[in-house]
Amino acid sequence: RRFPRMKPLSSDTAVTDHQAGSRVAAGILIAVGLWLWLGVVQTVIGPADPLILAGLPVARDVIGQLLRGLYAIGVATAAVRAFGIASPFEWLGIRRPVGREWGYALLGVVLMLSTLIGWISLLQALGLERTMSGSSLGTAVLYSRIITLLLLVGPAEELLFRGIIQRSLRDYLGSWPSILFAGFVFGFGHIDLSATAPGDILWLVGLSALGVILGWVYERTDNLVVPAIAHGGFNSLTTALPLLLG
């Protein structure tokens, strides 16, 4: 079943437009905040020259994922209070998936994986390279990420981008505008702002497309757990495949 959509706080058009604009701005701030928060986490316990726990890479990575989840919970708590939501679990659509919802979770993983492969192929066909670089991770960290990406990162990011941003804008902007906006800020939250090569810009579009797929899954099911499973499953799968095939 589908939960009824949240009603605007006022029927006055000007006020509604103002509320929509405020929530768009809040969505951008959430993405920027996540980017800054992760930058601080990377500086303190990142894979390259960490300030603490230098000899414990797996512990550092797990703590980093926990801190990502802490940020998501903090933002969600603030949003629920700011919006005056009496039943946040019902408003977000957090419940155990049933029936066809499991099918949408699997479909989400397949669509995201297909999009990723297609985007990588497009970059190669155009001869474009990305300047965004990531530190190489040890095998033990990659194995731990198969679990943490599924149980921590997927749910945390879906709580932010679909649960708070997309859900709070849906009644003001409509389904697809809110899906597209949440998808873009999802992509923005996963890039290095110093990377501006054509390949990086195209990669941003690809990351946003992954966010749009997750937004569509959320729209179709009205159950935040479904895109969280799809997101975490996709992340875990793309982490596990190189280990299995290597």
Which of 76, 81, 46 lies closest to 61, judged by CA? 46
Residue 167 has pLDDT above 80, yes or no: yes
pLDDT at residue 10 greater than cutoff 60: no
- Compute the distance between CA of residue 22 and CA of residue 168 in angstroms, rounded to an integer: 11
Q: How confident is the model at residue 133, as a pLDDT?
A: 54
Which tens digit of pLDDT belongs to each residue from 182-200? Answer: 999 999 888 776 677 888 8
Portion of the chain with pLDDT greater than 70, in percent: 90
Lowest mean pLDDT across 64-68, 190-194, 221-225: 190-194
Task: Name the range with the highest mean pLDDT among 20-29, 30-39, 78-87, 213-222.
Answer: 213-222
In the chain, the largest separation of any two C-alpha atoms, in whole Å, equals 59
Q: SS3 letters for the chain?
A: CCCCCCCCCCCCHHHHHHHHHHHHHHHHHHHHHHHHHHHHHHHHHCCCCCCCCCCCHHHHHHHHHHHHHHHHHHHHHHHHHHHCCCCHHHHHCCCCCCCHHHHHHHHHHHHHHHHHHHHHHHHHHHCCCCCCCCCCCCHHHHHHHHHHHHHHHHHHHHHHHHHHHHHHHHHHHCHHHHHHHHHHHHHHCCCCCCCCCHHHHHHHHHHHHHHHHHHHHHHHHCCCHHHHHHHHHHHHHHHHHHHHHC
Give the separation between CA 239 and CA 213, rounded to whole angstroms: 19
Q: What is the mean pLDDT of residues 137-153?
A: 92
What is the distance between the alpha carbons of residues 174 and 177, in angstroms, rounded to a whole number? 6
Query: Length of the chain in residues, anyone?
Result: 246
Above 80 in pLDDT, residue 16?
no
Report how far residue 188's alpha carbon sits from residue 190's, in angstroms, rounded to the nearest whole number: 5
- Cα 50 to its chain centre, rounded Å, is 25
